[in-house]
Amino acid sequence: MSVNWSLIAAEARSGPQFLAGRLQRLIEDGQLAEGDRLPPERELADTWRVSRATVREALRELELRGLVDRRPGRGTTVTGVAHPSLQDWQLGDMGSAARVIHEVMDLRSAVEPPVAARAAVRGNATDLRHLGNLLSDAERALKHGSLPRLIQLDSEFHVALAKAAHNPLLTQLLETTNSWVELSRDPAYQSEERLVTSLRAHGRILEAVMAQDADAAAQAMSEHLLEVQQAIVNALLVAPTPDGGSADAPRTGPTPARADRAAPAVPTFPRSDERSLP
């Protein structure tokens, strides 16, 4: 194993999910092979100048993906290779990519609308404030064209909704399935239009949650997921093929987020009282 761990510091400081993704790519690329042992958590945290909790969460994510084995006293050992990325699928088997996306979005459609409904009924002012802050942060990230930060905030918003449902099992389910859900957030299929659309959808979801309207929250989430699925399908149809063409009409790659595009308004908070759980 010959990995310069200091080169991963940027991903580590971007958050556990980005760190996990970077480590996964090292495994997929063969830089980390089966049987390789990672440095101790404390050493990695010192190298990357992050908390041990960040390192631990990233390694836990890799463990959930079946890429590493973590045992007390034995450290973290690489166990295998992950599923190929969507980019790999688009260059090989378009049918596989479409099928995986369908399965991922089917999972999200089954789980996330009821989660949003429960958040509308059970969420308190602290939950709502956190969700609103995430949208405000996403607004700023869009303004500065920070795609990695936007993707991270998208994930955090959906997990925060699960936490607002105040059912630890739902939160654990969302966190456990995040490795699959990340397939629907692949940077290769992001565009300015989709990012703006997602922010507006998140705003509608939060408005329904703030109004304690469970049906509206579930409906807003369902519509959001349909928009996401359609955007990814459209991106797959125009994805470049190995010969440099495309699977459909000619089009250049996704347009990166621009700083001159107005971001959607974020809902304000008319109350500061704590809502009691039913």
State the pLDDT confidence band at 107, using cuts at 50, 70 and 90. confident
pLDDT (0 to 100) of residue 237: 67
Q: Give which of 252, 230, 236, 152 is closest to 189, Cα–Cα.
A: 236
For 134, the token pair is 């995430």
Percent above pLDDT 90 for the chain = 29
pLDDT (0 to 100) of residue 97: 58
Q: What is the pLDDT of residues 137-157, one digit of tens each?
A: 999 988 887 777 887 788 889
More reliable by pLDDT, 79 or 201 = 201
pLDDT (0 to 100) of residue 77: 92
Strand partners, 70: 76
Percent above pLDDT 70 for the chain = 69
pLDDT at 266 over 70: no
pLDDT at 276 over 60: no
SS3 76: strand
Q: Give which of 42, 61, 64 is closest to 52, Cα–Cα.
A: 42
* The CATH number of the domain covering residues in 5-78: 1.10.10.10
pLDDT at 1 over 70: no
Q: What are the extents of the domains in the chain?
A: 5-78, 86-237
Q: Give which of 116, 165, 160 is closest to 277, Cα–Cα.
A: 165
Is residue 29 within 8 Å of 71, Cβ to Cβ? no
State the pLDDT confidence band at 264, using cuts at 50, 70 and 90. very low
Q: Give which of 44, 41, 35, 40 is closest to 69, Cα–Cα.
A: 35
pLDDT at 201 over 80: yes
pLDDT at 11 over 90: no
pLDDT at 242 over 70: no
pLDDT at 65 over 80: no
Distance, CA of 27 to CA of 21 (rounded, Å):
10
pLDDT at 252 over 80: no
- The CATH fold assigned to 86-237 is Four Helix Bundle (Hemerythrin (Met), subunit A) (1.20.120)
